[in-house]
């Protein structure tokens, strides 16, 4: 993990920033995409959430596996599935842990991202410290933050940091010294 040496009151310390740990190849989805296409994308890319962008590329929200779960539970209110089971086994079970595979895909195909996404985003700048990112994730009780830069009157998505990225960064830092 790259870190920047700083000196404060004669003590040297390292500051890891968002740009040091963020994923730069970020999968995005459109607000009009069907939930079934998002489900297939998540499974293929082995991800659990993605930023939502409009036709101009403006970030308008975030959609996650949990949103897909809620969408199918809304469709099938008699489902007795524990949400933690769904989250933990989503990809291994291919989504069929909620209902039969075809029924699951059918339920998702009836809805679009804009109906279930979390509008707005929690974002940080590339120079935000890792400790501030952790505080943000804990405060807002989220699983990922977007990394954005302000460019030409618009926020441009430059990366994403998941909880797993943070754990890997801190584990690497501990192992390196």
Fold of 4-176: CBS-domain (3.10.580)
The pLDDT, as a whole number, for residue 10 is 52
**Residues 51/146, Cβ–Cβ less than 8 Å:** yes
Report, as an integer, the average pLDDT of 9-26. Answer: 78
Range of lowest pLDDT (90-94, 143-147, 165-169): 90-94
Report, as an integer, the average pLDDT of 123-150. Answer: 95
Residue 132 pLDDT class (50, 70, 90 cuts) = very high
pLDDT digits (tens, 9 = 90+) for 30-40: 999 999 999 99
pLDDT digits (tens, 9 = 90+) for 69-105: 888 876 555 444 444 444 444 444 444 444 446 777 7
* Helix 130-140 / helix 163-176 crossing angle, nearest 10 deg: 140
The pLDDT, as a whole number, for residue 146 is 97
Distances (CA, A) of 46 to 52, 71, 144, 146, 154: 17, 20, 15, 18, 29
Share of the chain above pLDDT 90, in %: 54
């Amino acid at each position: 993990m790259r870190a920047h040496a700083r000196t404060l009151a004669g003590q040297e310390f390292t500051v890891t920033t968002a740009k040091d740990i963020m994923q730069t190849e970020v999968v995005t989805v459109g607000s009009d995409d069907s939930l079934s296409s998002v489900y297939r994308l998540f499974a293929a890319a082995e991800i659990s959430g993605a930023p939502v962008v409009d036709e101009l590329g403006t970030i308008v929200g975030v959609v996650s596996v949990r949103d897909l779960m809620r969408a199918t539970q809304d469709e099938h209110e008699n489902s007795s599935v524990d949400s933690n089971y769904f989250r933990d086994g989503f990809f291994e079970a291919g989504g069929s842990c909620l209902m039969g595979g075809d029924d699951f895909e059918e339920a998702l195909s009836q809805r679009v991202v804009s109906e279930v996404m979390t509008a707005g985003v929690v974002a940080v700048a590339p120079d935000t410290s890792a400790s501030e990112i952790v505080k943000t994730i804990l405060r807002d009780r989220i699983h990922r933050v977007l990394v954005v830069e302000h460019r030409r009157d618009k926020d441009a998505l430059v990366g994403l940091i998941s909880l797993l990225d943070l754990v890997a960064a801190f584990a690497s830092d501990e192992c390196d010294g």
